[in-house]
Amino acid sequence: LSVVALISGGGSNLQALIDAQAAGLPIRIVAVISNRADAPGLDRARHHGIPAEILSHRDYPDRETYDADLQRLIDRHDPGLVVLAGFMRILTPEFVNHYRGRMFNIHPSLLPKFRGLHTHQRALDADETEHGASVHFVTAELDGGPIILQARVPVLPEDDAATLAARVLEQEHRIYPAAVGWFAEGRLKLGEDGRPWLDGEP
Ligand code: GRF
The interface predicted TM-score (ipTM) is: 0.96
The verdict on whether omega for the bond into residue 157 sits within 30 degrees of 0, i.e. cis, is no
Q: Which residues of the chain have pLDDT under 70?
A: 201-202
pLDDT at 157: 97
Ligand 1 pocket member 146 (CB < 6 A) = no
Strands, sheet with 81-84, edge to edge from the N-terminal-most edge strand:
52-54, 28-34, 2-7, 81-84, 103-107, 130-137, 147-154
Backbone φ/ψ region at 115: left (φ over 0), alpha (ψ -120 to 50), beta: beta
In sequence order, which residues have a C-beta less than 8 Å from that of residue 7 and are 6 or more positions away?
Answer: 14, 32, 33, 34, 39, 41, 42, 85, 86, 87
Residue 63 is assigned to a ligand binding site: yes
- At residue 165, the pLDDT reads 98
Eight-class DSSP state of 67: H
pLDDT computed for residue 32 by the predictor: 98
Check if the beta carbon of residue 19 is closer than 8 Å to that of residue 54: no
Per-residue model confidence (pLDDT) at position 201: 57
Q: Is the CB of 151 under 6 A from ligand 1?
A: no
Active site residue 107: yes
Annotated binding residue at 74? Answer: no
**Per residue in 36-56, pLDDT tens?**
999 999 999 999 999 999 999
50 marked among binding-site residues: no
pLDDT mean across residues, the chain: 96
Q: How far is the CA of 13 from the centre of ligand 1 (A)?
A: 6
Please report the pLDDT score of residue 148 as a whole number.
97
Determine which one of 47, 98, 107, 136 is catalytic: 107
